[in-house]
Structure 1
Amino acid sequence: MAKARILAVDDQRYFRVFLEDLLVQQGFEVRTAGSGEEALHLLERERFDVVVTDLVMPGLSGAELVERVKARSPEQDVIVVTSVGDVRTAVEAMRTGASDYLLKPLDPTLLERSLDAILQRKRLRQEHAALMAENLEYLGVLSLYERTLALFSTLALEPLADRIVEGLCLEMRAQGGVAWIARADDATRLRLAAARGLVRVDREPEEIALDALPAELAALHRPEATPFLTESGGAPALVVPLRHEGRVLGFVRVTDKLAGAAFEERDRAIAERFGAPAAVAVANVLRFRALEHRSFRDPVTRAYTFAFFEDIVRNEIRKATRFGRSFSLLEIELRDFARFRRERSEADIASWLERFAFQIGRVLRTTDLLASASEDRFAVLLPETDALGAAVLKRRMREVLLRSDLCMGPGEDGPRAYLSAASYPVDGTQLEELRSALASRLVEDRESIVHELEGKPFPLVLDALAAKGQPLGADALGEILRFVLGEVERRAHERGLLCVAPGPELAGIARDELARFDPVHTRTELVLVAEERAASLAGAPITCVTPAQIGTRRPFLVYYAEGPGYALVGEPQAADGSTLLFQTGDRVTVEHLAFQLQRALGVPITR
């Protein structure tokens, strides 16, 4: 005899055949339908224990089929089969009454387990119906049954916990109840979710670890998951485990029966009958939350939605404020994307965005979080990352995009990527301040002269910058050099890079200033460009390189750190001591020069 009758609905013939063969092997009687309309005709003429339907079908979709079936027969169990990209539709199907959902590719074991669980619940309902017809306590059992059915009308955890506590208290005529439910992100810990009646919530633990249960709750680990008696504050209490598929999903402790009566065997029987569907309802809600979490991602790029991203950033701000940590945000803007989109098909754009997100993901860590605000704007959260760490990652990201085939380079026919970074707490301690910093730095990136210099070797970059210089008097360059090196020395405890090429005229000033740096507390990487290391710099934390290693004898200075950056490029001094000098505090330009030096010399940006 077949275990049950199943109706399998899918518009793809090979999947219908696959389902039919699989279910027949598992002992079920199977009928198939190639569309939602055909399935409705079969349901009008025949009875089926469970309907298994695909979500995405032409004509009547799987979600619409669920709604029509539940409207006609609320007791009919339906399992929806979906792909990861359809999880939002699956969420709606769960809301309209689907009993379960499974992801493609279909796991035969999970399908059989889901069907067995549904049939078990169906048999339980049938047994209840038969009992109510025969039992003298018909009205009491009916009330219990209706209360358990009401548990399945919500997919929110807190209201469900309230209903479970309320239902148990009413059925057992108790005046107090407390429920702890498993956390969605850590099933080994139970969170206080509901309380009712004569309960001092301030005396109850906020969380209970399943691996460290107090002695009075040790029976929760018993496999039979039956209600058991214990004490609470010296008074009798009945604990109702919420156990599903071998897992403890929570428990309810009921206290204070009316008139001081003791809990009896009848109360334990009611609690067991109520607790079984309550556990299934909790399992459904936790499963729904997991499904809802999947829907926080864009189906094409797999990036998180921006609303979810900002919630995570606000939570990161609270943690950083409390524990004194740092984190950074990146923003990526794709200019001319609207024109790029108009010239391509939807499939081409989806493929491009998928490859773009993949290239970004190549440089991210597992703890980083990529979000999409729109097709042309993305953001990244970098936990435990300071400003310099964010700059390093931003540079790698820019290089990966330029090396890719996504048409991101100068003069190429594609959207151009502009990047900005902001760090907590250097650039702000509130989300609005960090947003403002990101926006202003995007403008700086778009307007920076560095985009004219991309692809040029470092000596030619210096030549191009020097050509933009302004004339200065004979002593001006020396005064600027003293001032900048003095500022860097005061900030030498910060991580960063200082590279000085003073030229022969100002070598003495540079040596004197650099000799003052403390070798113990200096965290800035110091590089001096000179023909030889002076004796006065013995013991100083300085790396010396020759002009030949740099490829130019032009005087320059680059300082890049967590705070403001600075760069100057000069011409060799004329006979009268005058010179042309280019100087900038544009962080985009300074960052570009610092990373070119790092690549040329092999020195780290940070210590």
Structure 2
Amino acid sequence: MSAPASGGPVSRGRLRVLAVASDEGVLNLFRTVFGEAGDEIRVHDNLAAGVADAQNSPPDVAFVDVTMDQRAALALVHHVKAVAADAEVFALARPEALDAASQAVSLGATGVIVGPPSGDELLSAASAVRSRRAGAQLRAQLQGDNDALRRALGYVARLATLADRTDGDDVGKAVVELFREASGLPQVLLFLPSHEGADELRLSASLQAPPSAPAFCDEMVLMRFAGQAGLEVVPLLAGRLSMGHLLLGGSRSLEPRLRQVVQSLAAQATTTLLLAAERERAGRGTLKDGATSAYTFAYFVDLAGREIDKARRHGRRFALATIAMGEPDGQEPLVRAVDVADTVLAMVRDSDVLARVDEREFYLLLPETGGFGAQSCRRRVLAMGGPGGKLRGVSMGVATFPHDGADLLRLLRMAKRRADASRDSVVSRLRLQRQTLAELTDALLWDVDIAQGKLPQSSEVPRALELPMVDVLSLVTAALQQATRGGATAVVAAQRDGPGLAAAVRAFPGNNREGFQSHFVDVRHRDGCEDIEALAIVAEHGAYALLGRVDHGKFHGLHAADPLFADLLVQRLGELAGVRLMD
């Protein structure tokens, strides 16, 4: 007869008790005494069942009648100690079988209970076991706490040495590596304020960051990301000062003892990061990229954050630009980074800030600059990118506040996307830079990829148009309406006989508003241009170009929101007019 073992974890102080005896009365006593004590009690009246139970679920304490089965139960004493070295075994024996009890002690039994056991004897034996186990647990805990404290003190000493550094990014990387060691987790992400006093957070350093980790975000977005990625959030707090958050994760969760170490280190890390940030601010005048005359990315982020705050408070505009070198397929850039930096700095104002992001990319901050000024800067830079130019192979994209975004992350993403679009522009792909207006029109109309719609789906990519002229005029009117919503707009159109694009611009209701400029170029008597319709719109928040030929009232051409394409049309129409239409 046996009682099955109860499932589930055993709580602290609760013993797993195994009793093996042939007397049913003794087994009932075990059930009563240990059941009322809240322990897990398993009883068996045959030796084979007891052996199997001990094998499947080793007990904390076992009571064995060593006289069972002609003293074969002595083997159970040895078996319990073999499967659970920390288990304590008490031998049950009648007075006439004390020699068997003596053998049990030699086999590892803790003690002997002579005669039919009483409840007090059983509780006393269990109490001694409980006390010894509690003492062992306390000693192990104290040893573990001591080891954790010793490790924590070592980490604190390492953090203290970081406070002397002036490079905030360097400190961030060191902090991330330290917390990886302290936590034992492979994923560590450090999010700090994007600039002084900002609510926006920036991913400053990381190890094995998930691909979905945001580069910039607010705290709510960060908490949502951490939950989705299964990462534990450790706030960086020192008193009332907050310095951001650490995110930790991996294949397992943080152990409780290590969590205490991590939380203790977080306060020290906060102080270290604050000191490093203060030193970085104090030495900001020397925060230049070591290989070029540009500033560091950290300095750029801080200044850009301040510019955003200023623009929000005072309703001002500013622009950001991404300047990329070379191709995305790993080809070496055609120019050196130092030459790019020197050339760009010679072309921009003293108040503009150029920062190096990595080996192939720069960011340019243009304070107090709207879309027109940013596009003018872009044209000047890209004008140096032709054959033999100082900026060969360079692409550039701009974004303006608040048209393209109200936070740094959105602005940088938009500028980066436009730089990539500039690099992949049809102007570069078909090498249209040196072609006349008639030649580039035919080159585009005969391009198979454009005609068959094989190019990627994007507003910057040309799309073929085969429409009656009256529908094209409606399309131009809609484009003008969209452009003038952002403020200043400049339009350049080819002049032809009859109801063409120039006539649509003249008839546009908003053409007399402040900030609207229009230029018309007569192409009727130019070789190869008699039937060409061309239009370029440059607005605060983008550009639009439309080009094609008209045959019996039907337009055959293409259009795209490609600034490089619009620039080329303006340049070619200006050459036909003999004037410079845009800076």
TM-score band, normalised by shorter chain: 0.3 to 0.5
Q: TM-score of the superposition, structure 2-length normalised?
A: 0.44
Q: TM-score of the superposition, structure 1-length normalised?
A: 0.42
